[in-house]
C-alpha cells in the first residue's frame, strides 16, 4: 500500500530516461539554470522573465493545499462525457492539467484533422462521443501506468490511451451490439482483457427484417484484448447490461443488469420485482472459445457464446430492481451492487463464486448482506480501512459505512454500520477514492461527481455547470474541502498516485504514432529530421518541412489549384514544452507538433493565390514571425 506521507516516494525526474539520447536538459532545468544557459534560452523558447523555477517542485502540503510551483500528489483521469474526451486533473488541487481528445475533434491538437489521428479513429468515423468510464491497466491488482481505457456509449467504441504520451493510440468499434456503457479492466494477473458492457438489446441480424421480434433481442458482454484491442469474444446475456467490475483472482467479471423482462419501454421494464447480477467465468469462456463452442454473427468473425440463464459460462444472482454500480473492495473479499431503485446495497462474498459455479450453493447464497443506506444508491468506493462510501442520488449525500458491521447487522446483530452521511451538492453519481479500485487504496481523498450544481456557482445561462467535490476522508469524519465546476459531463473518474505514472518529456523519433508518416517519407527518399522537400506525384503534393523555434525549414512552396496537398512537419526542438503548430489559413486544418514529433495533415488547395500558414502554438518571442506562404497557381 502506498503511504502518501512517505518522504521516499519518487519525485518527477529532472531527466527523462526514455527521452532520445541527444536530449540533455529539460526545459525546467534549462529555464532555472545558470546565467550562461539563460543567455542562450531565447534561441529555444519564450517567456524567460518569470519562468525561473526551482528544478524540483515540492509536493502538496499536509493540509491538502497545493501552492504555486508545488506538484499534486495524484493524477485524476476524468471522462469528458458528451465532449468525447478524457481530462487529466491534479489532486488535491483539482486543477485541470490536460485534455486528451479521443472520440471528438480537437482543433488545438489537430485530433480528427491530422492523418495520424484519422488512422486511429478509422475511415468515416463519427466525430462525436459519449465517454463514460476511464480505467487504468493493472498488474497483480496494482495500477501499472501503461494504459487508460475509455468507452464511447454513443458509437459503441472502446479506446486506449498511452500513458507515456497521454495520447489515444487505439480505437475499436465493438460489433454486433449498441451502446458500450460499463467498462473495467481485468486486474489479475494483468490486464489481459478490457471488459465492456453493451447496454441496449437489438435483433440479430439487425437488418431491418426482424425489428418486431422483441423476444429475440439480446445484448452482449465483451472481452477486448488489451494489447491488440481486438474483440476476443462476446457473451450473450439476458437483460440490459449496466456497469461491470472484476475480482482479484482473474477468474471472474460481473455486471449489473436491468430490464430482466426484456421490454422495450419503461413500463414493461418495471414489472419484475428483481433484476440480477450476472457473473462471468473467464476460464470457462476461454475454454469454450478454444473448443470452438461458439457462433459468429453476420459481418463479424468474433466468437459469440451463449451466456443466457442456464449456461455454464454464467450465473445470475437476483438483486433489487434496477441495480446500477458494481464495485469490488480493495481486499478482494467483497463486491457491492448498488440498488438505485432500492435504498439498499447488496454485498457479495467473492470467494463463494467457485462453489456457485460448482453448483454447490444457490445464487443468493453468495449474498452476505443487503443493507439499507438511503435513497438512490448508485456507486460505492472504498478507503482500504474497511469503510465503504456510497453515493445517494435522491438524498444528495455520501454515506460512509462499515462493511463488516453491515454484514453482522444483516445477520441479526444490533450494530450500527452507518458511520456518517455528508451532504453533497447535488445528486451525486460516481465517486472514487484515491487508489480505491486497486489493492493500494490509501483512504486519503474521495471525489464525488454531482450531476447538478444549481446555486453553487455563478450562473452562465440555462445550461449549468456540474460539480465535482473533493472530500478529505483521511480522518474519522468526511470533510468537504473543494467545489469544482465542470462541463458536460464528467460521468466518471479514476485516481492514481503520481508515482505510478511515468510520462515522456519528448517524443521518441521512432514513436509508432507517426511511424506510418515516416515510412511514407522514406518511400519518397526524405529524412524528416533533416530534409525540407516538395514531392510531386501527379495532382498529389507532399511537402516535408522541419521546424525549430522560431522558423519552419521552408518559407514557401508552390502547388496548383486542385492539388491534394499533404504537409508533414517535424519539430526538431529538443527542449520540453516547445511545441509548434501548423495552421493553413482558410483551409480548416491545424495541428500540434510537440518536440521530436512528426505530424501530417492533408487538404485540397482549392483557393488560388497566396495562402499563408503559421505556427499556432506559442513557441518563441518571435512566434508571430513563424509563418510561410503556399503559392497556389490557378487551374
Nearest to 106, CA basis, from 614, 609, 581 = 581
Identify the domain boundary among 173, 192, 210.
173
Beta bridge partners, 170, equal: 160
Residue 192: how many CB atoms within 10 A of its CB? 18
Residue 333: its H or E element? none
Question: Quick one: pLDDT at residue 54?
Answer: 38
Residue 555: how many CB atoms within 10 A of its CB? 12
Non-local CB neighbours of 175 within 8 Å, separated by 6+ positions: 231, 297, 299, 300, 302
Domain for residue 150, yes or no?
yes
CB 224 within 8 A of CB 193: yes
**Quick one: 360 exposed, middle or buried, by C-beta within 10 A (0-12, 13-18, 19+)?**
exposed
Domain for residue 334, yes or no?
no
Task: Check which CATH number belongs to the domain holding 578 and give it.
Answer: 2.60.40.420
Rounded CA-CA distance 317/362 in Å is: 9
Per-residue pLDDT reduced to its tens digit, 234-276 = 999 999 999 999 999 999 999 999 999 999 999 999 999 999 9
Domain for residue 388, yes or no?
no
Question: Quick one: pLDDT at residue 368?
Answer: 98
Per-residue pLDDT reduced to its tens digit, 166-191 = 999 999 999 999 999 999 999 999 99
Beta bridge partners, 592, equal: 581
Question: Quick one: pLDDT at residue 537?
Answer: 96
- Note down the domain range covering 160: 75-173
Rounded CA-CA distance 300/173 in Å is: 11
DSSP code of residue 155: T
Question: Quick one: pLDDT at residue 60?
Answer: 56
**Quick one: 256 exposed, middle or buried, by C-beta within 10 A (0-12, 13-18, 19+)?**
buried
Rounded CA-CA distance 27/23 in Å is: 11
Question: Quick one: pLDDT at residue 310?
Answer: 97
Question: Quick one: pLDDT at residue 11?
Answer: 43
Q: Please, what's the b/e burial string for 600-624 (b: 16 or more CB within 10 A of its CB; e: otherwise)?
A: bbbeebeeeeebebbbbbbbbeebe
DSSP string, 275-325: EEEEEEEHHHHHHHHHTT--B--TT----EEE-STT-TTEEEEEEESS---
CA 131 to chain centre: 8
Domain for residue 209, yes or no?
no
Domain for residue 262, yes or no?
no
Domain for residue 123, yes or no?
yes
Question: Quick one: pLDDT at residue 488?
Answer: 85
Domain for residue 208, yes or no?
no
Rounded CA-CA distance 494/283 in Å is: 28
Identify the domain boundary among 115, 139, 173.
173
Residues in the chain with pLDDT < 70?
A: 1-63
Query: Is the four-CA dihedral 519, 521, 526, 531 of positive or negative sign?
Result: negative
Question: Quick one: pLDDT at residue 490?
Answer: 84
How many independent structural domains does the chain possess? Answer: 2
Please provide residue 624's backbone torsions phi and psi, each rounded to the nearest 5 degrees: -60, -25
Question: Quick one: pLDDT at residue 65?
Answer: 85
Query: Is the four-CA dihedral 50, 56, 57, 61 of positive or negative sign?
Result: negative
Which H, E and C letters describe 449-506, residue by residue?
EECCCCCCCCCCCCCCCEEEEEEECCCCCCEEEEEEEECCCCCCEEEEEHHHCCCCCC
Domain for residue 370, yes or no?
no
Identify the domain boundary among 173, 200, 235.
173
SS3 195: strand
Amino acid at each position: 500500500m502506498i503511504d502518501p506521507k512517505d518522504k521516499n516516494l519518487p519525485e518527477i525526474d529532472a531527466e527523462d530516461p526514455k527521452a532520445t539520447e541527444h536530449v540533455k536538459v529539460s526545459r525546467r532545468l534549462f529555464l532555472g539554470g545558470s546565467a550562461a544557459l539563460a543567455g542562450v534560452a531565447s534561441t529555444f523558447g519564450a517567456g524567460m522573465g518569470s519562468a525561473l523555477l526551482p528544478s524540483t517542485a515540492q509536493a502538496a502540503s499536509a493540509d491538502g493545499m497545493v501552492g504555486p510551483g508545488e506538484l499534486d500528489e495524484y493524477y485524476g483521469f476524468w471522462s469528458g462525457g458528451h465532449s468525447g474526451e478524457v481530462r487529466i486533473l491534479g489532486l488535491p488541487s483539482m486543477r485541470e492539467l490536460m485534455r486528451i481528445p479521443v472520440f471528438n475533434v480537437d482543433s488545438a491538437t489537430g485530433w480528427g484533422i491530422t492523418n495520424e489521428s484519422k488512422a486511429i479513429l478509422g475511415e468515416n468515423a463519427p466525430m462525436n462521443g459519449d465517454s463514460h468510464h476511464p480505467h487504468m491497466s493493472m498488474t497483480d491488482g496494482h495500477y501499472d501506468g501503461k494504459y487508460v481505457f475509455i468507452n464511447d456509449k454513443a458509437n459503441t467504441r472502446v479506446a486506449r490511451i498511452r500513458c507515456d504520451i497521454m495520447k489515444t493510440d487505439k480505437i475499436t468499434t465493438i460489433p454486433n451490439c449498441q451502446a458500450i456503457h460499463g467498462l473495467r479492466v481485468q486486474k489479475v494477473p494483468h490486464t489481459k482483457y478490457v471488459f465492456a458492457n453493451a447496454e441496449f438489446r437489438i435483433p440479430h441480424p439487425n437488418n431491418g427484417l426482424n425489428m418486431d421480434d422483441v423476444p429475440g433481442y439480446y445484448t452482449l458482454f465483451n472481452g477486448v484484448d488489451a494489447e491488440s484491442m481486438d474483440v476476443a469474444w462476446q457473451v450473450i446475456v439476458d437483460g440490459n447490461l449496466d456497469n461491470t467490475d472484476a475480482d482479484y483472482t482473474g477468474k471472474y467479471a460481473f455486471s449489473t443488469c436491468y430490464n430482466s423482462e426484456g421490454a422495450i419501454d419503461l413500463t414493461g421494464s418495471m414489472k419484475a420485482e428483481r433484476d440480477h447480477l450476472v457473473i462471468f467465468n473467464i476460464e470457462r469462456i476461454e475454454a469454450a472459445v478454444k473448443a470452438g463452442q461458439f457462433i459468429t454473427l453476420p459481418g463479424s468473425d468474433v466468437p459469440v457464446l451463449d451466456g443466457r440463464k442456464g449456461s455454464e459460462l454464467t450465473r445470475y444472482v437476483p438483486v433489487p430492481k434496477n441495480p446500477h454500480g458494481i464495485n469490488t473492495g480493495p481486499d478482494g473479499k467483497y463486491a457491492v451492487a448498488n440498488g438505485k431503485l432500492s435504498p439498499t446495497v447488496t454485498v457479495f462474498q467473492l470467494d463463494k463464486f467457485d462453489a456457485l459455479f460448482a453448483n454447490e450453493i444457490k445464487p443468493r447464497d453468495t449474498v452476505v448482506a443487503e443493507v439499507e443506506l438511503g435513497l438512490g444508491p448508485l456507486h460505492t468506493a472504498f478507503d482500504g480501512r474497511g469503510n465503504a462510501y456510497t453515493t445517494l442520488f435522491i438524498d444528495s449525500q455520501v454515506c460512509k459505512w462499515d462493511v463488516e458491521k453491515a454484514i453482522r447487522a444483516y445477520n441479526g446483530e444490533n450494530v450500527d454500520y452507518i458511520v456518517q452521511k455528508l451532504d453533497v451538492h447535488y445528486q451525486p453519481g460516481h465517486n472514487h477514492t484515491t487508489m480505491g479500485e486497486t489493492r493500494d487504496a490509501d483512504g486519503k481523498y474521495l471525489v464525488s461527481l454531482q450531476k447538478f450544481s444549481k446555486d453553487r456557482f455563478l450562473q452562465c445561462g440555462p445550461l449549468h455547470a456540474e460539480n465535482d467535490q473533493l472530500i478529505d476522508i483521511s480522518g474519522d469524519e468526511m470533510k468537504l474541502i473543494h467545489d469544482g465546476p465542470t462541463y458536460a459531463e464528467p460521468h466518471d473518474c479514476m485516481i492514481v498516485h503520481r508515482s505510478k505514472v511515468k510520462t515522456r518529456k519528448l517524443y521518441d523519433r521512432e514513436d509508432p504514432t507517426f511511424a506510418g508518416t515516416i515510412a511514407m517519407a522514406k518511400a519518397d527518399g526524405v529524412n524528416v529530421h533533416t530534409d525540407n522537400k516538395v514531392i510531386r506525384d501527379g495532382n498529389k503534393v507532399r511537402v516535408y518541412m522541419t521546424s525549430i523555434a522560431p522558423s519552419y525549414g521552408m518559407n514557401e512552396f508552390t502547388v496548383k489549384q486542385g492539388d491534394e496537398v499533404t504537409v508533414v512537419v517535424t519539430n526538431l526542438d529538443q527542449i520540453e514544452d516547445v511545441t509548434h503548430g501548423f495552421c493553413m489559413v482558410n483551409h480548416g486544418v491545424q495541428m500540434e507538433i510537440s518536440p521530436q514529433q512528426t505530424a501530417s495533415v492533408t487538404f485540397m488547395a482549392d483557393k488560388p493565390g497566396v495562402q499563408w500558414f503559421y505556427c499556432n502554438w506559442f513557441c518563441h518571442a518571435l512566434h508571430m514571425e513563424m509563418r510561410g506562404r503556399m503559392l497556389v497557381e490557378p487551374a
